[in-house]
Chains A and B, each alone.
Chain A
Protein backbone atom coordinates (compact mmCIF):
# COMPACT_ATOMS: atom_id res chain seq x y z
CA UNK A 1 0.00 0.00 0.00
CA UNK A 2 1.38 3.42 -0.97
CA UNK A 3 1.44 5.36 2.30
CA UNK A 4 2.92 8.64 1.14
CA UNK A 5 2.77 10.99 -1.84
CA UNK A 6 5.30 13.75 -1.82
CA UNK A 7 6.20 16.54 -4.28
CA UNK A 8 7.89 19.94 -4.01
CA UNK A 9 4.49 21.55 -3.37
CA UNK A 10 2.72 19.15 -1.05
CA UNK A 11 2.94 15.96 0.96
CA UNK A 12 0.17 13.53 1.89
CA UNK A 13 0.92 10.66 4.25
CA UNK A 14 -0.86 8.08 6.37
CA UNK A 15 -0.33 7.18 10.01
CA UNK A 16 -2.77 4.47 11.07
CA UNK A 17 -6.22 5.87 10.29
CA UNK A 18 -4.97 9.46 10.16
CA UNK A 19 -4.23 11.09 6.82
CA UNK A 20 -2.01 14.17 6.93
CA UNK A 21 -1.91 16.89 4.27
CA UNK A 22 0.76 19.55 4.04
CA UNK A 23 1.69 22.36 1.66
CA UNK A 24 -0.20 23.67 -1.37
CA UNK A 25 -2.36 21.43 -3.55
CA UNK A 26 -3.45 22.94 -6.88
CA UNK A 27 -3.62 19.91 -9.13
CA UNK A 28 -5.30 20.19 -12.51
CA UNK A 29 -8.41 18.07 -12.01
CA UNK A 30 -10.02 14.82 -10.92
CA UNK A 31 -7.49 12.67 -12.76
CA UNK A 32 -4.51 14.47 -11.25
CA UNK A 33 -5.97 13.96 -7.77
CA UNK A 34 -6.65 10.24 -8.40
CA UNK A 35 -3.47 8.92 -6.68
CA UNK A 36 -4.37 10.88 -3.53
CA UNK A 37 -7.96 9.62 -3.59
CA UNK A 38 -6.65 6.10 -3.99
CA UNK A 39 -4.44 6.49 -0.90
CA UNK A 40 -7.48 7.78 1.02
CA UNK A 41 -9.64 4.90 -0.22
CA UNK A 42 -7.00 2.42 0.99
CA UNK A 43 -7.43 3.78 4.51
CA UNK A 44 -11.21 3.52 4.19
CA UNK A 45 -10.90 -0.08 2.94
CA UNK A 46 -9.01 -1.01 6.13
CA UNK A 47 -12.30 -0.25 7.95
CA UNK A 48 -11.02 1.76 10.93
CA UNK A 49 -13.45 2.97 13.57
CA UNK A 50 -12.77 6.61 12.68
CA UNK A 51 -10.79 8.18 9.87
CA UNK A 52 -9.08 11.48 10.59
CA UNK A 53 -8.16 13.97 7.89
CA UNK A 54 -5.55 16.32 9.33
CA UNK A 55 -5.53 19.44 7.15
CA UNK A 56 -3.79 21.71 9.67
CA UNK A 57 -0.71 21.92 7.43
CA UNK A 58 -2.56 22.38 4.14
CA UNK A 59 -2.09 26.06 3.31
CA UNK A 60 -3.93 26.08 0.01
CA UNK A 61 -6.34 23.81 -1.84
CA UNK A 62 -8.00 24.55 -5.18
CA UNK A 63 -11.61 23.71 -5.97
CA UNK A 64 -10.68 20.39 -7.59
CA UNK A 65 -9.05 19.50 -4.28
CA UNK A 66 -12.19 20.51 -2.40
CA UNK A 67 -14.02 18.14 -4.74
CA UNK A 68 -11.60 15.39 -3.69
CA UNK A 69 -12.40 15.89 0.01
CA UNK A 70 -16.13 16.05 -0.77
CA UNK A 71 -16.02 12.89 -2.85
CA UNK A 72 -14.23 11.04 -0.07
CA UNK A 73 -16.72 12.33 2.51
CA UNK A 74 -19.52 10.82 0.42
CA UNK A 75 -17.64 7.49 0.29
CA UNK A 76 -17.38 7.50 4.09
CA UNK A 77 -21.06 8.48 4.40
CA UNK A 78 -21.96 5.22 2.62
CA UNK A 79 -20.46 3.27 5.56
CA UNK A 80 -22.33 4.42 8.67
CA UNK A 81 -20.13 2.32 10.99
CA UNK A 82 -17.03 4.32 10.04
CA UNK A 83 -16.64 7.78 11.59
CA UNK A 84 -14.82 10.73 10.09
CA UNK A 85 -13.09 13.62 11.76
CA UNK A 86 -11.61 16.61 9.94
CA UNK A 87 -8.99 18.81 11.61
CA UNK A 88 -8.41 22.34 10.35
CA UNK A 89 -6.68 25.50 11.44
CA UNK A 90 -8.13 28.97 12.00
CA UNK A 91 -4.95 30.48 10.62
CA UNK A 92 -5.66 29.02 7.16
CA UNK A 93 -8.60 31.01 5.71
CA UNK A 94 -9.93 28.50 3.13
CA UNK A 95 -10.61 25.98 5.86
CA UNK A 96 -13.11 28.14 7.80
CA UNK A 97 -14.76 29.11 4.50
CA UNK A 98 -15.07 25.78 2.69
CA UNK A 99 -14.82 22.86 5.12
CA UNK A 100 -18.34 23.43 6.49
CA UNK A 101 -19.60 22.14 3.15
CA UNK A 102 -18.31 18.67 4.13
CA UNK A 103 -20.48 18.75 7.21
CA UNK A 104 -23.50 19.69 5.12
CA UNK A 105 -22.81 16.61 2.99
CA UNK A 106 -22.37 14.32 5.98
CA UNK A 107 -23.76 15.73 9.25
CA UNK A 108 -22.04 13.00 11.31
CA UNK A 109 -18.64 14.33 10.19
CA UNK A 110 -16.83 15.93 13.10
CA UNK A 111 -15.19 19.19 12.08
CA UNK A 112 -12.65 20.82 14.37
CA UNK A 113 -11.09 24.09 13.32
CA UNK A 114 -8.71 25.24 16.04
Chain B
Protein backbone atom coordinates (compact mmCIF):
# COMPACT_ATOMS: atom_id res chain seq x y z
CA UNK B 1 0.00 0.00 0.00
CA UNK B 2 1.34 3.45 -0.84
CA UNK B 3 0.43 6.49 1.15
CA UNK B 4 1.19 10.14 0.38
CA UNK B 5 1.35 12.91 2.97
CA UNK B 6 2.14 16.57 2.42
CA UNK B 7 1.79 18.74 -0.63
CA UNK B 8 4.99 18.43 -2.64
CA UNK B 9 5.09 16.72 -6.01
CA UNK B 10 7.87 16.39 -8.52
CA UNK B 11 6.99 18.66 -11.44
CA UNK B 12 10.27 19.25 -13.27
CA UNK B 13 10.39 17.74 -16.75
CA UNK B 14 12.71 15.04 -18.07
CA UNK B 15 14.87 17.72 -19.65
CA UNK B 16 15.58 19.48 -16.33
CA UNK B 17 19.19 19.59 -15.12
CA UNK B 18 19.49 16.66 -12.79
CA UNK B 19 21.85 14.67 -10.63
CA UNK B 20 21.50 11.31 -8.93
CA UNK B 21 23.63 10.07 -6.04
CA UNK B 22 23.37 6.74 -4.26
CA UNK B 23 24.95 6.40 -0.83
CA UNK B 24 25.70 2.68 -0.98
CA UNK B 25 25.29 1.20 2.48
CA UNK B 26 27.68 -1.75 2.17
CA UNK B 27 30.50 0.09 0.52
CA UNK B 28 30.25 3.39 2.36
CA UNK B 29 29.31 2.44 5.92
CA UNK B 30 26.88 5.38 5.85
CA UNK B 31 27.51 7.82 8.66
CA UNK B 32 26.74 11.34 9.83
CA UNK B 33 29.41 13.19 7.86
CA UNK B 34 27.99 11.90 4.56
CA UNK B 35 25.00 14.22 5.08
CA UNK B 36 27.18 17.32 5.07
CA UNK B 37 29.57 16.31 2.31
CA UNK B 38 26.74 15.19 -0.01
CA UNK B 39 24.59 18.27 0.58
CA UNK B 40 27.57 20.64 0.22
CA UNK B 41 28.44 19.04 -3.11
CA UNK B 42 24.90 19.18 -4.50
CA UNK B 43 24.41 22.74 -3.22
CA UNK B 44 27.56 23.82 -5.03
CA UNK B 45 26.66 21.88 -8.19
CA UNK B 46 23.14 23.28 -8.54
CA UNK B 47 24.03 26.84 -7.51
CA UNK B 48 26.39 26.90 -10.50
CA UNK B 49 23.61 25.59 -12.73
CA UNK B 50 20.86 28.00 -11.75
CA UNK B 51 21.86 30.80 -14.12
CA UNK B 52 21.17 34.54 -14.11
CA UNK B 53 18.40 35.97 -12.00
CA UNK B 54 19.01 33.59 -9.11
CA UNK B 55 21.20 34.51 -6.13
CA UNK B 56 23.82 31.74 -6.31
CA UNK B 57 24.99 32.16 -2.69
CA UNK B 58 21.44 31.85 -1.41
CA UNK B 59 20.75 28.89 -3.74
CA UNK B 60 23.88 27.04 -2.61
CA UNK B 61 23.00 27.57 1.01
CA UNK B 62 19.28 26.79 0.73
CA UNK B 63 19.82 23.62 -1.31
CA UNK B 64 22.59 22.58 1.08
CA UNK B 65 20.44 23.16 4.17
CA UNK B 66 17.44 21.36 2.68
CA UNK B 67 19.38 18.29 1.58
CA UNK B 68 21.39 18.14 4.80
CA UNK B 69 18.28 18.15 7.00
CA UNK B 70 16.52 15.43 5.00
CA UNK B 71 19.70 13.34 4.75
CA UNK B 72 20.26 13.69 8.51
CA UNK B 73 16.76 12.25 9.01
CA UNK B 74 17.49 9.47 6.52
CA UNK B 75 20.73 8.53 8.27
CA UNK B 76 19.12 8.75 11.72
CA UNK B 77 16.00 6.74 10.95
CA UNK B 78 17.01 4.34 8.17
CA UNK B 79 16.56 0.67 8.92
CA UNK B 80 18.84 -0.76 6.27
CA UNK B 81 20.01 -0.30 2.69
CA UNK B 82 21.09 2.56 0.48
CA UNK B 83 20.02 6.18 0.50
CA UNK B 84 19.16 7.47 -2.95
CA UNK B 85 19.16 11.18 -3.75
CA UNK B 86 17.68 12.51 -6.99
CA UNK B 87 17.74 16.26 -7.62
CA UNK B 88 16.60 18.41 -10.52
CA UNK B 89 16.49 22.06 -11.45
CA UNK B 90 14.26 23.75 -14.00
CA UNK B 91 13.14 27.39 -14.29
CA UNK B 92 14.40 28.20 -10.81
CA UNK B 93 12.56 25.30 -9.20
CA UNK B 94 14.83 22.90 -7.32
CA UNK B 95 13.38 19.48 -6.51
CA UNK B 96 14.76 16.59 -4.51
CA UNK B 97 13.59 13.05 -3.85
CA UNK B 98 15.43 11.22 -1.09
CA UNK B 99 14.58 7.54 -0.67
CA UNK B 100 15.51 5.15 2.11
CA UNK B 101 14.06 2.17 3.96
CA UNK B 102 12.58 2.50 7.45
CA UNK B 103 10.91 0.07 9.84
CA UNK B 104 7.14 -0.33 10.23
CA UNK B 105 7.46 1.07 13.76
CA UNK B 106 9.29 4.20 12.57
CA UNK B 107 6.68 4.60 9.81
CA UNK B 108 3.80 4.59 12.30
CA UNK B 109 5.35 7.16 14.63
CA UNK B 110 6.54 9.36 11.74
CA UNK B 111 3.09 9.35 10.07
CA UNK B 112 1.47 10.25 13.38
CA UNK B 113 3.97 13.11 13.77
CA UNK B 114 3.35 14.35 10.20
CA UNK B 115 -0.43 14.25 10.57
CA UNK B 116 -0.19 16.58 13.57
CA UNK B 117 2.44 18.78 11.91
CA UNK B 118 0.58 19.29 8.64
CA UNK B 119 -2.57 20.54 10.37
CA UNK B 120 -0.88 23.52 12.00
CA UNK B 121 0.95 26.65 10.96
CA UNK B 122 4.67 25.74 10.75
CA UNK B 123 5.75 29.05 12.32
CA UNK B 124 3.56 28.51 15.39
CA UNK B 125 4.56 24.87 15.62
CA UNK B 126 8.24 25.79 15.39
CA UNK B 127 7.98 28.01 18.47
CA UNK B 128 5.89 25.41 20.32
CA UNK B 129 8.47 22.75 19.56
CA UNK B 130 11.37 24.96 20.71
CA UNK B 131 9.60 25.72 24.00
CA UNK B 132 8.86 22.00 24.49
CA UNK B 133 12.49 21.06 23.75
CA UNK B 134 13.71 23.60 26.31
CA UNK B 135 11.57 21.97 29.00
CA UNK B 136 12.72 18.46 28.15
CA UNK B 137 16.46 17.96 28.66
CA UNK B 138 16.09 14.30 27.64
CA UNK B 139 14.81 15.01 24.12
CA UNK B 140 17.57 13.79 21.79
CA UNK B 141 16.31 15.19 18.49
CA UNK B 142 15.13 18.73 18.08
CA UNK B 143 12.37 18.00 15.52
CA UNK B 144 13.08 21.43 14.02
CA UNK B 145 14.47 20.32 10.65
CA UNK B 146 11.23 20.00 8.70
CA UNK B 147 9.64 22.95 10.49
CA UNK B 148 12.53 25.32 9.68
CA UNK B 149 12.43 24.12 6.06
CA UNK B 150 8.73 24.96 5.76
CA UNK B 151 8.73 28.15 7.81
CA UNK B 152 12.15 29.74 7.17
CA UNK B 153 12.83 28.45 3.63
CA UNK B 154 9.29 28.19 2.24
CA UNK B 155 10.02 24.61 1.14
CA UNK B 156 7.22 22.35 -0.10
CA UNK B 157 7.51 18.89 1.43
CA UNK B 158 5.85 15.55 0.81
CA UNK B 159 6.32 11.95 1.92
CA UNK B 160 5.48 8.73 0.09
CA UNK B 161 5.40 5.49 2.04
CA UNK B 162 5.46 2.22 0.17
CA UNK B 163 5.31 -1.21 1.79
CA UNK B 164 8.10 -3.60 0.89
CA UNK B 165 6.30 -6.91 1.14
CA UNK B 166 9.42 -9.07 1.23
CA UNK B 167 10.69 -7.92 4.59
CA UNK B 168 7.91 -5.89 6.22
CA UNK B 169 9.92 -2.67 5.88
CA UNK B 170 8.69 0.54 4.29
CA UNK B 171 10.34 2.56 1.54
CA UNK B 172 10.11 6.26 2.34
CA UNK B 173 10.53 8.81 -0.41
CA UNK B 174 10.83 12.36 0.89
CA UNK B 175 10.00 14.95 -1.75
CA UNK B 176 11.13 18.55 -1.34
CA UNK B 177 10.88 21.58 -3.59
CA UNK B 178 12.28 25.10 -3.33
CA UNK B 179 11.60 28.14 -5.47
CA UNK B 180 15.02 29.77 -5.94
CA UNK B 181 15.15 33.54 -6.31
A-side interface residues toward B, CB under 8 Å? 24, 26, 28-31, 60, 62-64, 66-67, 70-71, 74-75, 91-94, 97-98, 101, 104-105
- Interface positions of B (Cβ within 8 A of A): 32, 35-36, 57-58, 61-62, 64-65, 68-69, 72, 76, 126-127, 130-131, 133-134, 139-142, 144-145, 148, 151-153
A-B CB contact pairs (8 Å), 15 listed: A28-B32, A29-B141, A62-B69, A64-B141, A66-B144, A67-B130, A70-B133, A70-B144, A71-B133, A71-B134, A74-B131, A93-B61, A94-B61, A101-B127, A105-B127
Please, how many angstroms separate the alpha-carbon atoms of A29 and B142 in the complex? 7
Q: State which of B32, B58, B127, B142 has its C-beta within 8 Å of the C-beta of A63.
A: B142
CB pair B57 A91 closer than 8 Å = yes
Please give, as numbers and ranges, the residues of chain A lying within 8 Å of B142 by CB-CB distance.
Answer: 29-30, 63-64, 66-67
Distance in Å from the Cβ of A84 to the closest Cβ of chain B?
Answer: 15
Residue pairs across A and B with CB atoms within 8 Å: the count is: 73
A63 x B148 contact (CB < 8 A): yes
Which of the listed residues B76, B133, B142, B153 has the most CB atoms from chain A within 10 Å of its own CB?
A: B142
Contact residues in B for A97 (Cβ distance below 8 Å): 152-153
Contacts of A94 in B (CB 8 A): 61, 65
Going nearest first, the 6 A-B pairs with the smallest beta carbon separation are A67-B142, A93-B61, A63-B145, A63-B144, A97-B152, A74-B134
CB-CB nearest in chain A for B62: A93
Considering the chains assembled together, what is the distance between the CA atoms of A34 and B117 in angstroms?
27
Is there an interface contact between A31 and B140, defined as CB atoms closer than 8 Å? yes
Tell me if A29 and B140 are in contact (CB < 8 A). Answer: yes
Are A105 and B69 closer than 8 Å at their CB atoms? no
Q: A63 to nearest B CB, angstroms? A: 4
Name the B residues within 8 Å of A91 (CB-CB): 57
In the assembled complex, the Cα of A67 lies from the Cα of B152 at a distance in Å of 14
Could you say which residues of chain B place their CB within 8 Å of the CB of A105? 127, 130-131
Shortest CB-to-CB span from A102 to chain B, Å, is 9
B contact residues around A67 at 8 Å (CB): 130, 133, 142, 144
Given A63-B148, A98-B148, are A70 and B130 neighbors across the interface (CB < 8 Å)? yes
Min CB–CB distance B173 → chain A (angstroms): 21
The answer for the CA separation of A97 and B32 in the assembled complex, in Å, is 24
The answer to whether A104 and B131 touch across the interface, beta carbons within 8 angstroms, is no
Query: B58, B69, B126, B153 — which one has the most chain A CB atoms within 10 A of its CB?
Result: B126
Cβ-defined contact, A62 with B133, below 8 A? no
A97 CA to B148 CA, complexed, in Å: 9
